[in-house]
Amino acid sequence: MVKQKAPCLAPGEVSSALEVKPKVIPATDPAKLSSLPERLSPALYLQAAQWSETQGAISTAQRQYEKALELDPRDVNSLIAFARFQDRHDHGEEAHRLYQQAQSLAPTNTTVLNDLGLFHARHGNLDAALKALDQAVRLDPRNVRYRNNLAAALIESRRVSEAIEVLRAVHPEATALFNVACLLSLKNETQQAAALLEQSLRIDPSLAAAHD
């Protein structure tokens, strides 16, 4: 078999062939988005907005959220993120509008429902909070976080037995009682909380947190 010789290179080509020429990707400036890919996505604007907010550049962050929605007004993640931003900065009316818009686009999105429920709970609208959180739990019944949030809203509405039932589905009996006792304790309902702690210890004497 005759081996083929590698093609010869001129002296100048040899030196250039041995040079390593990595593709240089400049560091991203999240505030300006000047070095991001040409085809931007809402997610990139959301990252920039979150970075700007951590740096205290609130107005810049808001513009980035707005740009994300300009790029895709129907992007549910952008609507949720912007609603959270507005709520963090005490713009409740605008946050509510964004949550409603997200819900109209994705009525079975459990993140939207959970966020909307917590929003209503923070603003004292317990009926609306319970409706949204209950729907989130029905759509994702094994999600512990959603059930904990629903239980907290039920405690706020003084529906203690219902809160226990909600938590029993994802926690052992003693743990469910302990969690409800903690929620009651936060509301200074100490007598009822103590009774539930005693009940949880009768079921599981090894529950150290209840002893404490």
Question: What was the pLDDT predicted at 94?
Answer: 97
Q: What six digits make up the tokens of 87?
A: 């709520």
Residue 9 has φ and ψ, to the nearest 5°, of -115, 145
- Number of Cβ within 10 Å of residue 19's Cβ equals 6
**What is the pLDDT at residue 204?**
87
What lies within 8 Å, CB to CB, of 134 at 6+ separation is 150
pLDDT(55) > 50: yes
Structure-token pair, residue 193? 């909380």
Mean pLDDT of the chain: 85
Task: Establish how many alpha carbons lie within 13 A of residue 49's alpha carbon, considering only the half-sphere containing its beta carbon.
Answer: 25
Q: What is the pLDDT of residue 65?
A: 96
pLDDT at 159: 95
Question: What count of other Cβ atoms lies within 10 Å of the Cβ of residue 210?
Answer: 22
Estimate to the nearest angstrom the gap between the alpha carbon of 49 and the chain centroid. Answer: 15
pLDDT (average), residues 93-98: 97
